[in-house]
Structure 1
């Protein structure tokens, strides 16, 4: 592997247009290691909230009109899974692989800021998927909510939990098989 093939280390807030062009061209991305402490601190806050008695929106409560509905501690993992799967509502042809890889890289950069409360493993899994050639199938049309990215991100994330579909070595396979195929 030469330097052009090696993953590029990116620091949130310092990504250049040339960096994005390299990612679009297929270069893998690794988060700059100096951002891990921020991520872990935010993840600890979310973990404490998840185990606390106080309701925290979207962590141990429902969403929207169900924001005041408390979710039992033993059901919060199912809540998060169902949230992802319920937003997989895109349609149409799949987004081209380079665009999906760029989307994944941009999510790594965004989560790398340490403001989302995700665990380190989430970012590491996205990095590994890019490096090992797992490309989620993301329909080109459709979303929910005002942000416009919920359905595409749900399709990406579904593969991370073994749902949805992905391309691996040019073959479309269920998410669970894609993850197993690359270890």
Structure 2
């Protein structure tokens, strides 16, 4: 199954973005880009020291991911990117309007356990609280799906692919605007 859409696999640290992203890209028949590779070295140093990033740190990172997504529009691709705030997703959509989000979500205890077991990653478990505090879940007017992270990577990838297939082509390309409330008859 090939998709011409760019999919951003999002969620807090430890949800499996770096594991699910390449599996989903392979399943969809498109290239994968690791979102962490777009971070400037100053961001990695800051996170490695246990200091959360602020928005000023994130803008250049999001702009670099957005540029990659824009180049892949119509060709397809999967990129991992925490995209925790609506404003971050809006910034990505400003660069690549057709981007679709797969929000990997799950129980905090499961995510913390997974983070504690991984080796060689710059994001310490101590920053998980700041990640959850920052998270603004994907909203109904955003093109995207929420996928539970319990189970094996293959099961999670299967749920993500199935959920993406369930989105209409129109919704994938153009998120529906929020409903407008009018007074009186139409």
TM-score range for the pair, normalised by the shorter chain length: under 0.3
> What is the TM-score with the length of structure 2 in the denominator?
0.23
- Greater relative contact order structure (CA < 8 Å, 6+ sep): 2
- Normalised to the residue count of structure 1, the TM-score between the two structures is 0.23
